[in-house]
Chains A and B, each alone.
Chain A
């Protein structure tokens, strides 16, 4: 069964049609990358999946049921900016989701319950390389670390779908390579369904199991108002999968594409080949 089933969805703002005739089946555990030129409704589509806005026409099913029309814990999100809370420490940001779940009135936990949550958060944070920064505030972190924090914060609540809105767009290329590796690892481990909006085609094909291209098919000035963007291509990304090979080796076989993940392989004459 599809995790997300989008059927003939339209988004309209007044007379302006932004998206039209969007139909998409996203199977559970898929990693869908959405690309397209600026202003083609990619982010509007993501807001739709978040429940921040409702479609003018069409239906969206989440696990076969109509999707709630407001954001909820079944759909996690990481934005490009403002994804983590500036008033909470790294640990506090990750604890927030579980604490809200455990304590409806205070939104805080104490004693044994809190210690358990802290332990779980600490494990996850160590895994993404933030184990030494538990008590830092987000402003004291680099952009890459903030986005890693945002990923952990969203994933600890175990959403059915993780929505990413250009999550790595503001990062340096080197950092972006590292976080791609991490993203892939987290996706494999959690088995979460991911929908990611990105500007970066390489990123889309590197991470996605499916790349969906949004575009305006009619772009003449007199048509712009009444014709919105729609899915122009829906590409299944094929990747050689040899049973028994682990994740890193498989990535290494992909390295004929000059992707940033190659940093992790031992084939490059990289000073850090000791491991």
Chain B
């Protein structure tokens, strides 16, 4: 009798992966049908058909008041905030993380600061951001930056500082200056880890994005969800949530692929099954 830990799924992998999704869908449909049977005007669990027509309405018909396709306008403004926020965070993290990780002087100067800053709950300073940066785009982007950067910096500096001492000595014995060591030894070895921790930061980034949009915005995925909540418009809210999840998933997947393509050496050791 083989141990369970040694049984590999093989071709059944796809079936197994889809099974839980199918079960959730089935459970939803049954719940929805049940509630509709009891109360024909129930809004909490709308049937799939109603969600489809709601999606059609927001995504493929112009909004009567603004003349825009709300779904795409929302997606665009949310992704814009997210991408600006994450780009700035990554830039900060690269510069600070490499410096703190490689240079003992930078480590002594900035390491305690980032340790403290990373403990500040970003949501607690959201009001400050609104006061300082106003209610428009900047404060939402700032929330993402402030929420994500400290963790990225800490993670990256830790990665760089745990490069074997031998490697740094070796680089110097090949004539590398500090700058050359930074860009030819530390940076390339930090990149896969940076992508990895960026992937882990996608969750928090979306959290900060949607929170900021919920409080103050005139478009955006989070804004729409919280707006529609007043009308109990579950037929639109649920597809929006699924869409946000899908976006996050695709971003995560894309980052993973980029890392595999660009840094194959970093993925040699991964356990495959």
List residues of chain A with CB under 8 Å of any chain B CB: 50, 52, 70-73, 75-77, 79, 81-83, 85-88, 96-97, 99-101, 104-108, 137, 139-140, 153-154, 157, 159
Measured between beta carbons, the chain B residues less than 8 angstroms from A159 are 173
Whether A82 contacts B167 by the Cβ 8 Å rule is yes
B183: A residues at CB distance < 8 A: 106-107
> Are A70's CB and B268's CB within 8 A?
no
- A103's closest neighbor in chain B, by CB? B180
Are A104 and B167 closer than 8 Å at their CB atoms? Answer: no
B175 CB → nearest A CB, Å: 4
Contact yes or no, A100 B173, CB < 8 A = no
Pick from B44-52, B75-83, B198-206, B258-266 the stretch touching chain A. B258-266
Q: Is the CB of A104 within 8 A of B177?
A: yes
Decide yes or no whether B166 CB sits under 8 A from chain A. Answer: yes
- Complex CA–CA separation, A139 to B268 (angstroms): 8
B255, chain A: closest CB distance, angstroms: 18
- B176: which A residues are within 8 A, CB to CB? 100, 107
Taking chain B's interface residues, is the majority helix, strand, or loop, or is none over half, making it mixed? helix
Beyond A85-B189, A159-B173, 6 additional pairs, beta carbon < 8 A: A50-B169, A82-B166, A86-B265, A107-B184, A137-B265, A137-B268
B229 at the binding interface (Cβ < 8 Å)? no
Q: Which of A85, A108, A139, A157 has the most chain B CB atoms closer than 10 A to its own CB?
A: A85
Q: Is B34 an interface residue (CB 8 A)?
A: no
B188 within 8 A of A: yes
Q: A239 to B264: give the CA distance in the assembly, Å.
A: 48
Chain A residue at smallest Cβ distance from B175: A73
Interface assignment of B116: CB less than 8 Å from any CB of chain A: no
Q: Which of A73, A83, A87 contacts B166 (CB 8 A)?
A: A83
Is the beta-carbon distance between A96 and B268 smaller than 8 angstroms?
no
In the complex, which residues of chain A have a beta carbon less than 8 angstroms from the beta carbon of B179? 105
| B 5-47 to A, binary, CB cutoff 8 A, 1 in contact else 0 | 0000000000000000000000000000000000000000000
Partner of B167, one of A76, A85, A101: A85
**Of A77, A87, A157, which is in contact with the most chain B CB atoms at under 10 Å from its CB?**
A87
- A73 touching B265, Cβ below 8 Å: no
Query: Would you list 20 pairs from A and B whose C-beta atoms are within 8 A, ordered by A residue?
Result: A50-B169, A50-B173, A52-B169, A71-B173, A72-B175, A73-B174, A77-B173, A79-B170, A81-B164, A85-B189, A87-B263, A87-B265, A87-B266, A100-B175, A104-B180, A107-B184, A137-B265, A137-B268, A154-B173, A157-B173
A79–B170 Cα distance when bound, in Å, is: 9
Q: How far is the CA of A100 from the CA of B266 in the complex (A)?
A: 23
The answer on a CB contact under 8 Å between A75 and B184 is no
- The interface residues of chain B lying within 8 Å CB-to-CB of A107 are 176, 180, 183-184
**The residue from A77, A99, A104 contacting B170, defined by CB atoms under 8 A apart:** A77
CB distance from B178 to the nearest CB of A (A): 11
Q: Residue of B at shortest CB range from A154?
A: B173
Are A97 and B188 within 8 A (Cβ)? no
Contact A137 B264 (CB under 8 A): yes
A82 to B164: give the CA distance in the assembly, Å: 7
Assess whether B269 is interfacial by the CB under 8 Å rule.
Answer: yes
Query: Which B residues lie within 8 Å of A88 (CB)?
Result: 188
Q: Which of B170, B179, B184 has the most CB of A within 10 A?
A: B170
CA distance A52 to B179 in the complex (A): 19
Residues in A with CB closer than 8 Å to B164 are 81-82
B269 to A, closest residue via Cβ: A139
Q: In angstroms, how far is the closest chain A Cβ from the Cβ of B234?
A: 49
CB distance from A124 to the nearest CB of B (A): 14
List B contacts of A73 (CB < 8 A): 173-175
**Chain A residues near B189 (CB, 8 Å)?**
85-87
Docked-complex contact B264 and A77, CB < 8 angstroms: no
Task: Report B166 CB to chain A, min CB distance, Å.
Answer: 4
Assess whether B175 is in contact with A85, with CB atoms less than 8 Å apart: no
The complex places the Cα of A106 from the Cα of B187 at a distance, in Å, of: 12
Q: Restricting to B187-246, which residues have a CB under 8 Å from any CB of A? A: 188-189
Contact B170–A83 (Cβ < 8 Å): yes
Asked, given contacts A50-B169, A79-B170, A96-B174, whether A87 binds B180 with beta carbons under 8 Å apart, the answer is no
Residue of A nearest to B174 (CB): A97
Q: Given the known inter-chain contacts A52-B169, A87-B189, A100-B180, please indicate yes or no for A153 contacting B265, CB distance below 8 A.
A: no
Contact, CB under 8 Å: B172 / A70:
yes
Provide the bound-state CA to CA distance between A50 and B171, in Å. Answer: 12
Q: Verify A87–B188 contact, CB threshold 8 A.
A: yes
B262 to nearest A CB, angstroms? 11
Please state if A75 and B188 are interface contacts (CB–CB under 8 Å): no
Chain A residues contacting B172 (CB-CB under 8 Å) are 70-72
Residues on A with C-beta less than 8 A from B170 are 77, 79, 82-83, 85
B185 part of interface (Cβ distance < 8 Å): yes
A72 with B173, Cβ < 8 A, contacts A86-B265, A137-B268, A139-B268 known = yes
Q: How far is the CA of A154 from the CA of B174 in the complex (A)?
A: 7
Contact B265 A71, beta carbon cutoff 8 Å: no
